Amino acid sequence: MKTLLLRTLTGILYLFVIGFAFFFSPSSLISVFSLFLFIALFEYIHLAQKFPVLKSKMQRITLHLLLPIVWIIFPVALLIYWCTILNATNIMVALFIILCMNDTLAYVFGSLFGKHKIYPKISPKKSWEGFFGGLIFTIIAIYFLIHITYFQSDIFTSPYIWMSFAFVVIISGTFGDFAESMIKRFAQQKDSGAILPGHGGILDRIDSMLFAVPVGFIYWGIVALCQ
């Protein structure tokens, strides 16, 4: 019970910080996500120190240099660019809502009905029942959410575009979650850090976002070009 309460309070604080970043000012968004980037890179460096000894020079370059650039720095920079330069903060807020809603619903459905594991060697708690429950009900919820005036968009002009956006965000976010779990397994660590009590590190919270932002941006760009 104490762990659940701590996890809940930490989650609320995290969401408050995210809300502050998006709604206060562009400078607050840049500041918050730059801080997240710095912490995430620090956590990755800590994980990298736990990696088994790599004999191949190319493997060392990939894991210690290229991967953090492509996997962490690029998505966070793209998020800031998408929100500030392209002025699509409402799309990014929707992306975060989709990820948080799917994460919560997948956990609920997985806890209640989860019997068939997706990839137990990498993420033993994730089940197909949780995945499909989160996916289906998040997409249904988005259909109603996008009728709120804040989410009206000149590019995402129909509920079906929004629902398709939710689908690609959830799928890519799930891959992001598994990717981080794989890296933690490789480093033989349970969490990326301990800065968020009950949740682990910043990387543990933004892992799905790191895949979902580039994929969501590509989807957004394709829809914009097709209009």
Q: Where are the beta strands (DSSP E) in the chain?
A: 117-119, 123-127
Backbone phi and psi for residue 117, each to the nearest 5 degrees, phi listed first: -75, 145
pLDDT of residue 52: 86
Q: Tell me the C-alpha distance between 155 and 195, whole Å.
A: 37
Name the residue with tokens 């000894």: 53
Determine the Cα–Cα distance for residues 55 and 103; give it in Å rounded to an integer: 37
| pLDDT tens digit sequence for 69-97 | 999 999 999 999 999 888 889 999 999 99
Q: Is the pTM of this model over 0.85?
A: yes
DSSP 183-222: HHHHHT-S-S-SSBTTTB-HHHHHHHHHHHHHHHHHHHHH
Sketch the domain layout of the chain as residue ranges: 2-226
Positive or negative: CA dihedral 108, 111, 116, 118 = positive
Q: Residue 36 to residues 2, 17, 170: CA-CA distances in angstroms?
A: 26, 11, 21
Summarize pLDDT for 129-181 with one digit per residue, the tens: 999 999 999 999 999 998 899 898 889 989 999 999 999 999 999 999 999 99
